[in-house]
Amino acid sequence: MKWIYIHKLIFFLTSFQIFAQGFPWEFSPRLPFKVPETFLGVSLARTNLTYFGNLTLYEDKVLCSKFHSGNGFAFSFAGNIEHWYLHNLAVNVYLGFQQSNGKFVALGDSFPILVQNIPQVVNLENELNIRYNYLALGFALKYLLFDTRFFVGISNDFGFKTSTKFEIFEQVKSPPEYHFTDKTQRRKLYEGEVPDLSFLVVSTKLDFGYDAVILPNIYASPKVWIELPIFNFSKEGSLRVFSFGFGLTLFYGYR
């Protein structure tokens, strides 16, 4: 009889853990709680972006310089649906909007001049600023680690471009005495052109985070991730992105 009670107790504790996704949803046997399997959520995120590749700058169809690397950041928000297939395995689908930017710098033209009858060489520098927006549809897998609320995951985002804006500047790097015809040392290149970004981009991310209980039926899911530079973001040139980001999702059980 003693072993029967022990087996029942083990079964009860095991069942509590399996159906609760690791959360203490049922705070008391007198307050039974039906654990939902599907949760709705909203998320916010910030991402640091590192670009590398080969974007060629043309002015009046003449090659001016090549941009090979840059940096930027992105902000995004999304709506989420997370469904738990097992006590430690969930699938997440989300739809959101991401606004990103990037800054690239490359060496420009060089040419000789005379400054107070002294031969010198003017060195120019080109700067490319990009702002672009995407609608993002994503799919993710999440796995809880070692019966804890820490998780690892992998996600794929499919981004559909809604807008792109390029701004290209030319500035004097040396000598300090040289100025353009408008008396400045920095000017905007209105005739400058670089390859556009692709309409569809795909990104793969590795996630690590924690599911934290707030109230019964509600939990917060902060996480960090890295994006692998697998896919080309440029329509004609070469542009890949490595990113590190962090975000927070708030989930509410749907029953």
- Secondary structure of 160-205 in the HEC alphabet? EEEEEEEEEEEEEEECCCCCCCCCCCEEECCCEECCCECCEEEEEE
What is the Cα 193 distance to its own chain's centre? Answer: 26
Token readout for 118 is 């002294």
Angle at the Cα of 105 (from 68 to 64), degrees rounded to 5? Answer: 80
Q: What residues contact residue 86 under an 8 Å CB cut-off, 6+ apart?
A: none
Amino acid found at 107: L
Phi, psi of 8 (to 5 degrees): -65, -40
Amino acid found at 200: L
Q: Which helix (H) or strand (E) holds 11?
A: helix 2-18
Structural domains in the chain, CATH included, are 37-254 (2.40.160)
What secondary structure letter does DSSP report for 4? H
Amino acid found at 29: P
Residues 12-24 have pLDDT tens digits of: 444 444 444 556 5
Q: What is the pTM of this model?
A: 0.78
* Model pLDDT, residue 26: 59
Rounded to whole angstroms, the Cα distance separating 251 from 22 reads 15
Residues 149-184 have pLDDT tens digits of: 899 999 999 999 999 888 888 888 887 877 788 888
* Model pLDDT, residue 24: 59
Q: What residues contact residue 116 under an 8 Å CB cut-off, 6+ apart?
A: none
* Model pLDDT, residue 244: 94
Rounded to whole angstroms, the Cα distance separating 39 from 74 reads 26
- Which residues in the chain land under pLDDT 70? 1-34, 255
* Model pLDDT, residue 154: 94
* Model pLDDT, residue 2: 47
* Model pLDDT, residue 21: 58
Radius of gyration over alpha carbons of the chain, in Å?
27
